[in-house]
Structure 1
Amino acid sequence: MPALAGVSTLGLALLLGTVVTPQTAHAQGEGEVVYCDDLDPRDRARSTRRRAGGSNRDCTYRETTVDAETGEVTREVPVAARPRSVLPRRYSDIPRPTAEQFVEKVAIPDRWRIVNALGYADNWWDPYNQNTIKGDRPIHDDWFFNVTAISDSVLEFREVPTPVGVQSTDRPGSLDVLGETEQYLFNQNVAVELVYYQGDTVFRPPDWEFRFTPVFNYNYTELDEILGVNADPADGVTRNDNHVGIQAAFVDKHLRDVSDRYDFDSVRVGIQPFSSDFRGFLFQDAPFGVRLFGTRDNNRFQYNLAWFRRMEKDTNSGLNDVSEDLRDDDVFVANLYWQDFPQLGFFSQASLIYNRNREDEVFYDTNDLIQRPASVGEERLREYDVWYLGYNGDGHFGRLNLTTSFYAAFGQEEDAVFSGRESDIEAFFFAAEPSMDFDWIRARLSFLYGSGDDDPFDGKSEGFDAIFENPQFAGADTSYYIRQGLPLIGGGRVALSQRNGVLNSLRSSKEHGQSNFTNPGIILAGGGVDMDLLPELRLSLNANYLAFAETGVLEVARQQANVDSEIGVDLSAAVIWRPFMSQNVVVRVSYAQMLAGQGYKDLYGDEDPYSLLCNVILTF
């Protein structure tokens, strides 16, 4: 090689020596052992580093012995040779403490006191860090206390069909049945949830839980027509009201664990929130009841067995009114949730619900308006027994998200609304909402069908109605038709549809009225998109086409022939802003407008009503 020309034999030897020297640098003589314990840390690291094709190390460790009496550590005897494939075992250079150096063990009442010893401050106003009133530490023994406070403020401007007052009017010269539609609403709720519980909440439910949730309400309503806010014309066109409702007051007892995965059985007694399905189509309320619930097979199955008795509501706030007697309206529930069925990532639920109603006394609401019986048709007190057999699903199949619900209602009612005779209940309901995510956009389709009654006098009640609906579907309360309750003007003092409801039920109200299975039904088909423009900003757009499933009942109630089935197109948009990217502060502004179809015009005229909603939710 030309590059090595002129290099002497001695120089080549020196060059090679520098290459191999690091592997034998610590040899102090032929056959002499070098101990890693004696080397400088840097030399020890080089000597014990593994090399491809070479030995594991060039030094060896002494064995460690510990004097049982003094705890003194010594390393004297060389460690036996190990196979090259095994990494060397290393020992700390820090000697083990002697028995005298161990401090006396001090008992700690629980693991939460360790946090106190580390010096973490406990600020009751800070929900993000250690906070005793948020359940981060026990208040005594293993009992915890959790406080949640929510302020929910709603400001709403809307146009809703309103009848001209019968006895009097605020607009002299008004001769038409339909009055001014402009309305204004302010509603303020402050909810305080107090939870006192014993035990863990991570892998198993608490042993005991006591929950109390009062809600303080103030509401103000202003209309342009007399009798819209009260039966007394002297009350004018405005109403100020307040109420304190009890939305939860129950005790929950953990009965037992049934597996080493903490599958359990528990019982809950008292006023408690309950939803019969994923989207609140049939029964979502806070009734009084007894509920046995639990899980099986590592939480794969969840079950509920419950009896509820519905509570009377405050008319203007919609909250529970504990000053009134419980209603003679019982709901029995048996349901089973099955995780990952029929496919991983999808929840299935089967339910059987029985609603027994025996309300045989006349009832007037806070505004002195009749609620039971409904002021439509025969206006008779009614009793009914109805069974709901349902299937509900929620989850995803690959990229396709899907929520679906099906209910079949069957039973009997005495003194049907229009015929006044016994009638067989045969109705059904179906809803589905598929959606798919495309990066920051979720596109969805919505379809809903509630059967209608084509003949109110044939001895069959074929219009589907819920027990107490609150649908989170197709835009929910962003939608005009779901948000606003439309009165059936000129056909009785009932509502065509209820506030925060999608069914055309023709009942006096959702809060006080009985279910009515002689109704025109509903068809909804629509679509929408949810766009996460920023982590804290979402834009939601919705468009829904609405129609009556049947119009025969409307024609009888209104004594009006040829009512068209088309309700119209409901367009809505909502902006949701979470300035701190959490649920502690949520601001929502939504606008909706109904483009009236011929059926809507037949009932309410040519106006295209709107609603503007501003909602601020603060949570601690």
Structure 2
Amino acid sequence: MLASMLFCRIETYAQQQPAEKPQAKPVAQEQQGEAKAPRLPEDKPLGAAGPTKNRQKPRPEDADFMIIRDRWRVGIPEDPRFKEGDIKNPYRQNVLKGDYPVIGNSTFLNITLASESDFNVRRVPVPQDVSSQLPGSYEFFGRGRQESFNQNFVFSFDLFHGDTSYKPVDWRFKVTGIANLNLLKVRELGIVNIDVREGRSRLDGFNALEEMFFEYRLGDTTRLFPFLRGKGSRKGRSPFYDFTSIRLGVQPFTSDFRGFIFSDSNLGARLFGSFESNRWQYNLAYFEMLEKETNSGLNTVNFRDIGFRNQKVYIANIYRQDTFKLGYTTQFSLHYSDDRPTVEYDQNGFIVRPAKVGTVTPHRVRSGYFGWAGDGHFGRTNITHAFYQVIGRDSFNPIAKRGTRINAQMAAGEFSVDYDWLRYRIGAFYVGRFKSHRRYGARIRCDTRQSEFCRRQIQLLEFAEHPPDTDRGCAG
């Protein structure tokens, strides 16, 4: 009854309770010749709702209903199906995880505490340094067994305004901090640090802000961009909550379904929204790339320092749901990266940029990625695919020893079928290039950061006048 009345009036109403029920308390005494005054339930809300923020006393509206301005604290009768909440129990309703407002009736707070632990044992090819653990051995590679442990303690503070059941938030301020502890043990010297005196193990820690952004809903997309007005809009207002919002600060973003080109949390500005009943979604993003801390891989954003990588990234993409057939979403995207020449050594003494390949010289790489991707299902067959064409310019290719043009392709696809709780899937990945090295002079490789070869680069050459290095990213 209470839920049905929410659609009839702007404010929330509580129905009059019979006078003979023990849980009902009369608000005003019935006067002779007048209608009965409304009664309110005495039951407290389930959960740690906190004290009411509305100090106004309820006033009689008529003989049957009374306005309750604080609808979050309307009483709920006791029932075995409902459990009372506890502010210390995250599996029950409470005010600290967004179940009840903290300010007024529309401002919520969601606090998240998480622990992420990763233990990795691997064996990869490593070089035999001049100061190897077993000098004089005949093996080409050293002992490659490595053990690593990475621990993240995550704290997230999310303050937002608006009823998110049917529409996006009106505004949001979110901060996510991470305290990291990492341990690495290897079998050879010169891996954990350029200085072999550091031994074969390393224990390090770092604190960073992985998210710190403000989001604001600019309004209905149909009002901001009249040419996108869809069916049913009235005076520019969308009945389907088509929206346009802006987000500023350190924020996570993935540019396609699988994050082939860009998937990171970095400093930038993003304009995003939807139109035509949420069938189309779009993103326009700009990122000023931050340096990553060496051992934790987190952004160098903390209360002490901040480091910029001198790289700018521009991204535009658009999604369309139910393309060709219901259940299939297609996407088109455009990426542009301007990576300017820099020289960077990490905290362990290894050179990060430029990579030690061919002639080691700082150079500028400007590249554009044109992509088409899709994700969904056709009947029982699930499909995910992506294709990218890359063009650009490298001011000085370390192998060609001159400026070169970039022209290459990437394609990936995965098909799967579900049988009960099993999923059978098959996938393929392809990287192509033009055959004429003399004309184009260079090729690229996509960003496959999940590859084991991106965790540790094989060093085959060492120079006495230059320290050995590792490239923290894949070839580009």
Fold shared, TM-score > 0.5 on shorter chain: yes
2:109 equivalent to 1:145? yes
Aligned to 2:13: none
Which of 406, 413, 428 matches 1:425? 406
Aligned to 2:68: 108
Percent identity over the alignment?
A: 37
Pair 193,356 (structure 1): closer, same or farther in 2 beyond 3 Å: same
Contact 2:400 2:441 in 1 (8 A): no
- Per-residue deviation, 1:488: 2.9
> What's the secondary structure of 1:218's corresponding residue?
strand
Which of 445, 465, 479 matches 2:446? 465
Contact 2:126 2:458 in 1 (8 A): no
Pair 211,470 (structure 1): closer, same or farther in 2 beyond 3 Å: farther
2:343 equivalent to 1:362? yes
Pair 457,240 (structure 1): closer, same or farther in 2 beyond 3 Å: farther
TM-score for both structures, normalised by structure 2 = 0.77
> What's the secondary structure of 2:153's corresponding residue?
strand
Write the letter of the residue equivalent to 1:460.
Answer: G
- Per-residue deviation, 1:482: 4.7
Q: Distance in 1 between matches of 2:454 and 2:339?
A: 27
> What's the secondary structure of 2:174's corresponding residue?
strand
Aligned to 1:292: 271
Q: Distance in 2 between matches of 1:250 and 1:199?
A: 17
Write the letter of the residue equivalent to 1:108.
Answer: I
Point out where structure 2 has 5 or more consecutive residues left out of the alignment.
1-32, 39-58, 61-65, 223-237, 464-468
2:423 equivalent to 1:442? yes
- Per-residue deviation, 1:184: 0.9
Which of 144, 155, 159 matches 2:123? 159
Write the letter of the residue equivalent to 2:134.
Answer: R
- Per-residue deviation, 1:489: 3.2
> What's the secondary structure of 1:361's corresponding residue?
coil
> What's the secondary structure of 1:422's corresponding residue?
strand
2:458 equivalent to 1:488? yes
Aligned to 1:171: 134
Q: Distance in 1 between matches of 2:462 and 2:284?
A: 38
- When the two chains are superposed, the root-mean-square deviation of aligned CA atoms in Å is 2.4
Write the letter of the residue equivalent to 2:404.
Answer: S
Which of 169, 181, 193 matches 1:218? 181
Matches within 5 A, 1:450-529: 450-451=431-432, 459-466=440-447, 469-470=448-449, 481-482=451-452, 485-490=455-460, 508-510=471-473, 516-517=475-476
Contact 2:350 2:470 in 1 (8 A): no
> What's the secondary structure of 1:277's corresponding residue?
coil
Contact 1:194 1:213 in 2 (8 A): yes
Contact 2:407 2:434 in 1 (8 A): no
Aligned to 1:60: none
> What's the secondary structure of 2:74's corresponding residue?
helix
2:331 equivalent to 1:349? yes
Contact 1:277 1:392 in 2 (8 A): yes
Pair 228,350 (structure 1): closer, same or farther in 2 beyond 3 Å: same
> What's the secondary structure of 1:234's corresponding residue?
helix
Q: Distance in 2 between matches of 1:431 and 1:334?
A: 20
- Per-residue deviation, 1:201: 1.1
Write the letter of the residue equivalent to 1:348.
Answer: T
**Cα deviations across residues 365-402 of structure 1 (Å, max 9, x unaligned)?**
01110011111111110101111000110000011100
Aligned to 2:395: 414
**Cα deviations across residues 79-133 of structure 1 (Å, max 9, x unaligned)?**
xxxxxxxxxxxxxxxxxxx953232635433321115797974412222321111
Pick which of 109-118 and 395-404 moved more: 109-118
2:235 equivalent to 1:235? no
2:169 equivalent to 1:181? no
Point out where structure 1 has 5 or more consecutive residues left out of the alignment.
1-97, 472-480, 494-505, 518-620
Write the letter of the residue equivalent to 1:488.
Answer: I
Write the letter of the residue equivalent to 1:158.
Answer: R
Q: Distance in 1 between matches of 2:406 and 2:87?
A: 55
Q: Distance in 2 between matches of 1:310 and 1:113?
A: 45
Task: Please say which structure displays the higher CA radius of gyration.
Answer: 1
Aligned to 2:292: 313
Pair 348,455 (structure 1): closer, same or farther in 2 beyond 3 Å: same
> What's the secondary structure of 2:68's corresponding residue?
coil
2:261 equivalent to 1:282? yes
Which of 248, 256, 271 matches 2:250? 271
Pair 154,453 (structure 1): closer, same or farther in 2 beyond 3 Å: farther
- Per-residue deviation, 1:244: 1.1
**Cα deviations across residues 282-339 of structure 1 (Å, max 9, x unaligned)?**
1100110000000001110000011111110011111111224212111101110000
Pick which of 327-336 and 122-131 moved more: 122-131
Contact 1:422 1:459 in 2 (8 A): no
Q: Distance in 2 between matches of 1:172 and 1:491?
A: 16
2:389 equivalent to 1:400? no
Write the letter of the residue equivalent to 1:490.
Answer: L
Pair 239,486 (structure 1): closer, same or farther in 2 beyond 3 Å: closer
Q: Distance in 2 between matches of 1:401 and 1:99?
A: 67
Pair 309,115 (structure 1): closer, same or farther in 2 beyond 3 Å: farther
Aligned to 2:9: none
> What's the secondary structure of 1:379's corresponding residue?
coil
**Cα deviations across residues 493-518 of structure 1 (Å, max 9, x unaligned)?**
9xxxxxxxxxxxx98112xxxx744x
- Per-residue deviation, 1:419: 1.6
2:363 equivalent to 1:382? yes
Contact 1:248 1:286 in 2 (8 A): yes
Contact 2:287 2:312 in 1 (8 A): yes
- Per-residue deviation, 1:176: 4.2
Q: Distance in 2 between matches of 1:444 and 1:482?
A: 22
2:318 equivalent to 1:336? yes
Aligned to 1:127: 90
